[in-house]
Amino acid sequence: MKKKLRLLDMYCCAGGAGMGFNKAGFEVVGVDNKPQKNYPFEFHQADALDYCWWHMKEFDAFHASPPCQKHSTMTKGRWQDRLKGHVNLIPETRELLKSTGKPWDIENVEGARSELIEPIMLCGTMFNLQTKYGSQLRRHRLFECSFDIQVVPQCNHKKGSVIGVYGGGQHPDRRIPATIGVWGNAGVSSKRGGITQFGTQDRRDAMGIQWMTGKELSQAIPPAYTEYIGRQLMQTLR
């Protein structure tokens, strides 16, 4: 049996990105400085940069999702004080990945665009991600890749209900929110003011992730994003 190519999933959280690379054909190993009891693959609790430095020869490719709080809109404005103590790890991560001599990508939020070099943007609407109500997932994420991405699909934002990252709201023609965030720690579906609110299961369905808690979903990348990138990475390696 041909041995699978191995990918290190750095700052892995609960494994949304890792699952996408696994679907693309990689053997995935995750590393994070916090315990991740729901991570679906081999996991190591350690500093991601240190682990990569000591184990880089064991892997064929690397994915990194450095903490994004410094660049997130959720930590700006009235949350500005929360920026204190958040370190920008993108430059240090990039330099380490370059030193491996192997292909890699770095993922982050839209607010980090100035930190990333010629990133591509992926959105849930590019992969038809939605709830059972047909509410679109509009979760924009940027990817800086050391290898070529041949074709990038287009956003397909449609008028109507959305399950995204923007907070609450209502649509006058639907008994579900017009926009609701995949962040926080939602429970089951509920009703407020006659409007059905999205619950954790709705968020799981929209993200294409069934194993995470509501809190874990708030930091996750839909596997469809990294499966798309991973298939092109696999072509590069082969």
Confidence of residue 98 (pLDDT cuts 50, 70, 90): very high
Predicted confidence (pLDDT) at residue 199 exceeds the cutoff of 90: no
The rounded distance, in Å, linking the Cα atoms of 176 and 216 is 23
Nearest CA among 177, 191, 212 for reference residue 201? 212
Residue 10, C-beta contacts closer than 8 angstroms, at least 6 positions apart: 31, 48, 49, 51, 52, 62, 63, 64, 65, 66, 93
**pLDDT higher for 169 or 40?**
40
Q: What is the mean pLDDT of residues 98-116?
A: 96
Predicted confidence (pLDDT) at residue 42 exceeds the cutoff of 50: yes
Confidence of residue 165 (pLDDT cuts 50, 70, 90): very low
Q: Tell me what pLDDT residue 79 has.
A: 37
Predicted confidence (pLDDT) at residue 219 exceeds the cutoff of 80: yes
Q: Tell me what pLDDT residue 163 has.
A: 78
**pLDDT higher for 228 or 218?**
228
Q: Tell me what pLDDT residue 52 has.
A: 98
The rounded distance, in Å, linking the Cα atoms of 108 and 119 is 10
Q: Tell me what pLDDT residue 69 has.
A: 55
Would you tell me how many other CB atoms lie within 10 Å of the CB of residue 216? 20
How does pLDDT run across 221-237, given as a tens digit for each residue? 999 999 999 999 999 99
Task: Return phi, psi of residue 31, to 5°.
Answer: -140, 135
Q: Which of 15-24, 94-103, 145-154, 177-186 has the lowest mean pLDDT?
A: 177-186
Would you tell me how many other CB atoms lie within 10 Å of the CB of residue 208? 20
Domains and CATH numbers, the chain: 6-121+218-237 (3.40.50)
Q: Tell me what pLDDT residue 86 has.
A: 58
How does pLDDT run across 175-194, given as a tens digit for each residue? 455 444 554 445 555 444 44
Q: Tell me what pLDDT residue 157 has.
A: 87
For the chain, give the percent of residues with pLDDT over 70: 78
The rounded distance, in Å, linking the Cα atoms of 195 and 172 is 10
Q: Tell me what pLDDT residue 85 has.
A: 53
For the chain, give the percent of residues with pLDDT over 90: 64
Q: Tell me what pLDDT residue 133 has.
A: 84
Confidence of residue 156 (pLDDT cuts 50, 70, 90): confident
Q: Output b/e per residue, 116-126; b: 16+ Cβ within 10 A.
A: beebeebbbbb
Are the CB atoms for 142 and 112 separated by under 8 Å? yes
The average confidence (pLDDT) of the chain is 84
Q: What is the mean pLDDT of residues 80-87?
A: 53
